[in-house]
Amino acid sequence: MTLEQFFSQNPRAAIAFSGGVDSAFLLWAGIEAGAEARPYFVKTPFQPQFELEDAQRLCTRLGAELIVVEFDILSDPAVAANPADRCYHCKKRLFSLLRERAAADGFSLLLDGTNASDDAGDRPGTRALRELEVRSPLRECGLTKEMIRARSKQAGLFTWDKPSYACLATRAPTGQTITREALEKVERGEALLSGLGFRDFRLRLTAGGCRLQVTEEQFSLVQRYREDILTGLAPLFSEIVLDLKPRIPID
């Protein structure tokens, strides 16, 4: 089955939209197929501001109305406690919220951007989507991340080479309670590093501060901007360490 066939069979659908590579391409494909595809962005403390801005920019480019739903996910104790299956509790709560909002707007079908390259095993987040009957057209149509990037580039979508981005909650080690203050510090720190030219990196929370993970190609940037990094991160974190093991980009 192709995406065109999928949207021909499902001409009205709500899309859980993050502003990333996959959901951006899914929205574009739906619009190109003539479907009524409406994007919904859930804004929580786990999403940095730039993700919302990217989502808004992409929707403006496609002429789609972006529905922004705000929710304090940290109000859910099962999520804030950050257990090993946090992703299950988080996605179950957020996609339930999306399904309710989409249904109120007249959409009975909810889609997400999971692709054929994503692990199809019984991961916590995947289990939540399956329980809520959220469909993943990119996976159903056999589209891998590489294929999606290539087709996004052909379509002229600025997201085609956007690095994969995991929510800010992943910066906290399992079992460490997640707080809004800690997430805000990470967001500010990562914004600083992005401004210095870093891409596809992570700023992980530790007991004493933070740990910077960069790809092997960016170790030279760390050396070049060492003083800027220290000056920018010192007000946020009491301890700043560099992970000497290179970060391997994951699509």
CATH 3.40.50.620 in the chain, residues? Answer: 3-161
| Mean of all residue pLDDT scores within the chain | 95
Alpha-helical (H) ranges within 33-123 are 49-62, 77-80, 86-104
Q: Are 7 and 35 in contact (CB under 8 A)?
A: yes
Q: Which CATH fold would you assign to the domain 3-161?
A: Rossmann fold (3.40.50)
Quick one: tokens of 159? 């997201």
The mean per-residue pLDDT over the stretch 177-205 comes to 96
Q: Which CATH fold would you assign to the domain 179-242?
A: Alpha-Beta Plaits (3.30.70)
Tell me, letter by letter, the H, E, C secondary structure of 11-55: CEEEEECCCCHHHHHHHHHHHHCCCEEEEEEEECCCCCHHHHHHH
Q: Tell me, what's the pLDDT at 231? A: 97
Q: Tell me, what's the pLDDT at 165? A: 86
Q: Tell me, what's the pLDDT at 122? A: 59
Residue pLDDT, tens place only, 73-128? 999 999 999 999 999 999 999 999 999 999 999 999 999 999 998 866 657 788 99
CATH 3.30.70 in the chain, residues? Answer: 179-242
Q: Tell me, what's the pLDDT at 121? A: 60
The mean per-residue pLDDT over the stretch 22-26 comes to 97
Q: Tell me, what's the pLDDT at 17? A: 97
Q: Tell me, what's the pLDDT at 90? A: 96
